[in-house]
Amino acid sequence: MIQLKSVSLRRGTQLLLENANLTLQPGYRLGLVGRNGTGKSSLLALIEGTLMPDMGEVERAGGQRLATVAQEIDELDVSAVESVLSGDVEYARISKAIAIAELAEDGMALATLYHDLDAIDGFSARARAARLLDGLGFAPDAIDRPVRSFSGGWRMRINLARALLAPSDIMLLDEPTNHLDLDAVFWLEQWLISYPGSLVVVSHDRDFLDQVCTHIAHIENKSLTVYTSNYSGFESMRAERQAQNQAFSAKIERERAHLNAFVDRFRAQASKAKQAQSRIKALARLPVLAATHADSAFNFSFRPAPNAPDPLLTMEHIDLGYNGNVLLKNIELTVRAGDRIGLLGSNGAGKTTLMRVLGGAEKPMAGKLFVSAGVRIGYYAQHQLEQLDPRDTPMSALERIAGRASTQEVRSFLGGFGFIGDRAFEVIEPFSGGEKARLALALLVWQAPNLLLLDEPTNHLDLEMRESLAAALQTFEGALVVVSHDRSLIEMVCDGFWRVHAGQVGVFDGDLEDYRRALTDERRAANQPAKSAEKVAAQPVPAKAESKPKAAPSKRSTDRIKAIESRLSEVVKSLQALDIQLADPALYQNPDSTQAHTLTGQRQILEEEHAALESEWLALND
């Protein structure tokens, strides 16, 4: 058990928490929520013991084991599975002692050590580590690759697996879904639900909090309030409390009227497709959203866009990939006026590559992409924040594209994205990731597109801004293609789905629950041992047939694997060199220079090539 008693906490001159009380009982799964900057990560550090309170005390029961996710991996040359195993400190200690005893041929010591290993279930440790990596999206052969060969996002998955493997009584997770695709998020939810210890998690994913948490701790106005419920229950209780405050009543009614407009719109479409059933569930909580959104600092909507042609985009026999390597083949799909499509698929499957081609950032390797006249595309890329000029202010960035709009019009528009008062005139270089993401969205919304392509638009956004974005997208009259691991956003704004899987892109007939079940069935089938096409019980296979070795891989395959490994090493070095260049402040001193934009584009291309090479490497090894 951990208990916070009358705790006050400052970071610098800012008071984050005042007179906060919290009791973390065994078995609690506590979600920490609140706006960015309110102190969620600091409270996590306080519970961990790496930060001390300015006032009050933190009491911890003796002998408790804490598990946290490291931000870096020191041993980059070890394999992924060995890195995960090192998270179990006792297993690592015994394994090292066994290696020393074997060299010394010390039989007595080995007998004791093997007994100790059995006592901590160490003989199954590698299998458990492999299962964790499999659940987080690693292919079976990838777990023996060195850590340094993986990109930053995959390394964070390795760190997460280390924390999950380590024996613990309390687990502390700060935004664990940030580097995961939807497939891995589904798996992680089920793992955490079965975790026997206490969990404290910071997350901006409301569906993840709904599935996992038994309690919610909300930080607001320097106060900490604990609710015995998941996130939806917390939202309802908070809405009731706010609704009783007369000061919010008028705002709530205006927000409810605004929301009713698209409630009616989607209710009318509910009979058209199976996917619409999930939309009905999302709409059921809109009255609550009206109350909780009433005091939000964010309030924006999409500007009217020109009428869209139909269809907007048509793909005919398109192949996508890099350096002659095809990642996606023979795509034949159409984006029609009014379509609201969610792209499903694991990381590295090719979702971002497809979005870049649709957005005009890349050309297809083969086939034709037809863009109809009158289509105005708004493309929000995964690395959109890197396209911002750090010397700009929100005002100067928007005025550059605002044409003849008045200063007051621009300031009012920025206010809807939280840039109020002097904040609109401050240089954006020191802004947080969330503030930069809001500015990038503001620039996109101003341009009034009739086709939106959004690749992980909720990265860096807190729950409040995510709700505002979802509300704005629901009233958006154009077409929409979205990649996101935020299920709440997908359910509320998408009517149909495409799945990117095994080198193909096709329509997925179902909603997100169907997708979850499909993933579960596929994982179960992959984990089942292969069965013979014939029943062999009545006629046993001769011993020679049983011992027949597998066919060796062709020389062409092994040569290609070596070539990929060599190229992966080159790509990693190039990415590191580009990161050093992009971190140099001198790069941004010349306002007319396009070098920063060029380097950012090069980095994005290399990241896509890295993902494509990884996918091909895994396929060849399989």
Which of 236, 262, 293 terminates a domain? The answer is 293
Q: pTM of the entire structure?
A: 0.71
- Domain-embedded: residue 479: yes
For residue 71, what pLDDT is reported?
A: 74
| End residue of a domain, out of 518, 543, 566 | 518
Q: Where are the alpha helices (DSSP H) in 270-297?
A: 276-283, 286-293
pLDDT of the residue at 539: 40
Asked if the structure places residue 564 within a domain, the reply is yes
Rounded CA separation 383/156 (Å)? 18
Phi-psi region of 510 (alpha: psi -120 to 50; beta: other; left: phi over 0): left
**Does residue 372 sit in the same domain as residue 451?**
yes
How high is the pLDDT of residue 533?
36
Residue 530 is assigned to a structural domain of this protein: no
Same domain, 449 and 372: yes
Domain count, the chain: 5
Beta bridge partners of 344: 499
Which CATH number do you get for residue 441?
Answer: 3.40.50.300
State whether 288 and 229 are in the same domain: no
574-611 tens-digit pLDDT? 876 776 676 665 665 565 566 766 676 676 677 667 76
Does 459 lie in the same domain as 422? yes
Domain identity same for 327 and 395: yes
Residues 43 and 109 in one domain: no
159 within some domain: no
- Note if the bond before 304 is cis, omega within 30 degrees: no
Residue 299 counted as domain residue: no
Q: Are 359 and 445 contained in the same domain?
A: yes
What's the confidence (pLDDT) of residue 328?
93
> Can you give the pLDDT at residue 250?
59
Could you tell me if 454 and 582 lie in one domain?
Answer: no
Residue where one domain finishes, among candidates 115, 149, 183: 149
Helix axes 433-446, 407-415, angle to 10 degrees: 130
> Percentage of residues in the chain with pLDDT exceeding 90?
37
pLDDT of residue 325: 83
| Judgement on whether residues 357 and 331 belong to the same structural domain of the protein | yes
Clarify whether residues 45 and 131 are in a common domain: no
Please list, residue by residue across 586-597, b when 16 or more beta carbons sit within 10 angstroms of its beta carbon and e when fewer do.
eeeeeeeeeebe
Residue 304 resides in a domain? no
Whether residues 380 and 422 share a domain: the answer is yes
Check residue 137 and give its pLDDT.
87
Domain assignment of residue 112, yes or no:
yes
Question: What is the domain extent for residue 581?
Answer: 552-622
Residue at 568 is within a domain: yes
Task: Note whether 363 and 462 are same-domain residues.
Answer: yes
Q: Give 10-residue mean pLDDT values along the chain (622 residues).
A: 89 86 92 86 90 90 87 80 92 91 88 90 90 89 89 88 94 90 91 94 91 93 91 83 61 59 58 50 56 62 84 94 86 93 89 92 93 93 84 93 90 90 90 87 92 90 83 86 91 90 91 88 69 38 38 63 76 72 62 64 70 68 62
Q: Which residues contact 89 (CB under 8 A, 6 or more apart)?
A: 166
pLDDT in tens, 527-577: 665 443 333 333 433 333 333 344 455 656 777 777 777 787 777 778 767
